[in-house]
Structures are given as C-alpha cells and as structure tokens.
Amino acid sequence: MTLREKISRWVALIGIAVFGFLWFYEPTFSTDEAWNTLIRSTLYHVMGSIIFAALTVYLGFRLWHKPPKVFWAVFLPSLLVVVNNFPFLALANGEAQITRGEMLPLFVIDCLLIGVFEELAFRGTLYVAILEKRRTTRRQIFWTTVISSAIFGLVHLANLFDGAGFGPTILQVGYSFLIGGMCAIVFLKSQNLLFPILLHGIFDIGGRLIDTVGQGRIWNTPTIIITAILGVAVTAWMLWQLFQIDPSVTDAFYPIKTTDEKAADQSTMQDG
C-alpha cells in the first residue's frame, strides 16, 4: 500500500467515526432548532465530503482535469435548469418570503457542501467505479449513466423515514434522477467534478431556500410552465450530447496503466 493510500484510508476512517458520532448522538449547538438543524446538516456534509474525497484518492480516480471548450455546450443549458429552480416569481409577487435572513450565509455553505458531498459520492465514486468496466461503447456509457442516476434518485426514498410525504418524496426521486443524469453528462464532457458540484449546489440553494430560511408557496402556473418547457428541451439536448460522447474520453478518470496492465485487461475481456 502506498503512502497516499494509507493517508486517504485513515482520513476516511476518521471521517466515518466523526460522522457516526454526529449521527447517533446528535449534539446540540443552539437552542434555536432551525439553527441547530442547519449546523448539524453542515457538519454532516463536511464529514461526508471528507470521506468520499479520501475514497476517490484511495481508488486513484482522476476527477479534476482542465475542461475542453466543448463542455460549455452542456454546462450552460444545465445552468439554466438549476437557476430556474430559484423561486424568483414567488418572491417577486409576494407568495414567498425570506424570514430568516441571518441564516442565509450558513445555508448557502450547507447547500454547496451538499453538492460536494453528493457529487463526490455519486459521480466521483459510484459512477466512475461502475463506468470503469462499462465504457467501451456509447451504449454502455448511456446505460451506466442511467443506472447510476437511478440509484441517486432512489436513495432519496430515505426521506420517507424522516417523515416526508409519499407524493413529494416520489417527485424528489424523479427530479433527482434527472439532475443526476444531467450532472453525469456535464462530468463526462468537462472531465472535472467541480462543474457538477457547482450545478448541484446552486440547484439545492434554489430548491431549499424557502423551506429552510423562508415561508410561503413557490409553485405557481408560470413557474410550472417555464420549468416544464425548459426541462423537456434541456433533457432532449443532454441526451443527444450523451450519445455523441467518445468512449475514449473516459480514460481520463483512471490511473494511467502500464503496458502489462493493459495486456492483462485485454486478456480478461477476451476470456470473458
């Protein structure tokens, strides 16, 4: 085991221990329950990010390349989708209000950390791990993207155990599947996990804003129409972009192999 692997393993183990402590003992940080919940959430996501960052280092995944210029073709439409998740119209017409402005800075940090944590876990670790053996054709890359995004969506069923309603949870599973697929495509095109992290964080800031630091109703007829049109258009564009991806670009996510290792992989594939 290399020094890098030893260090990353111990960092992950320490992170798991701290995360477990926070999860089971639920320490109190404030007498204000809203503040207390937000502080705990932020700490959970800090530790989760550390755990999966260490895991990607241990596995040797390479997630932070300089993106090619063509990635803007998927990043900018995706940015429109996540910005549209902000309740602009509801805030403008008074249907929703920000009532806890003092919590906004920590709220924004927490949402960005959710992006870091979940993208490291689902795109940087799970997706890349599945993709390693299923990336020789565009069809394999398509189905790997679908499978990993479906897992990301289904994980949100856990919200049922926290008291969330069945209908809203199923809705969250559906849009999490779509957002997961979008982030995976941006990751493939940019070869840099930073861009899915930014999209994910911005999406959560808009989506959680009123529930966490405000009150009111965010869905109205114009918002639903705009969201539906934008969602259908961007989904079609992203699918087309996914089918254009050259499988060889996925090589960038993995350690450079020696000639002997490539030969061994080739032999394994032929035996299979």
The answer to whether residue 267 scores a pLDDT higher than 60 is no
pLDDT grade for 161, boundaries at 50, 70 and 90: confident
**Average pLDDT for the chain:** 92
Residues 50-69: pLDDT tens digits? 999 999 999 999 999 999 99
pLDDT of residue 171: 83
pLDDT: is 35 or 266 the higher one?
A: 35
Q: Which of 2-16, 76-90, 153-167, 196-210 has the lowest mean pLDDT?
A: 153-167
* Residue 272 pLDDT grade (very low, low, confident, very high; cuts 50, 70, 90): very low
For residues 179 and 84, give the distance between their C-alpha atoms in angstroms, rounded to a whole number. Answer: 13
The predicted-structure confidence for 76-124, as pLDDT tens digits, reads as follows 999 999 999 999 999 999 999 999 999 999 999 999 999 999 999 999 9
Question: What pLDDT, on a 0 to 100 scale, did the predictor assign at position 162?
Answer: 73
The answer on pLDDT for 260 being more than 70 is: no
Q: Where are the domains of the chain?
A: 1-60, 65-257
Q: pLDDT value at position 266?
A: 53
- Residue position matching structure tokens 């940087």: 124
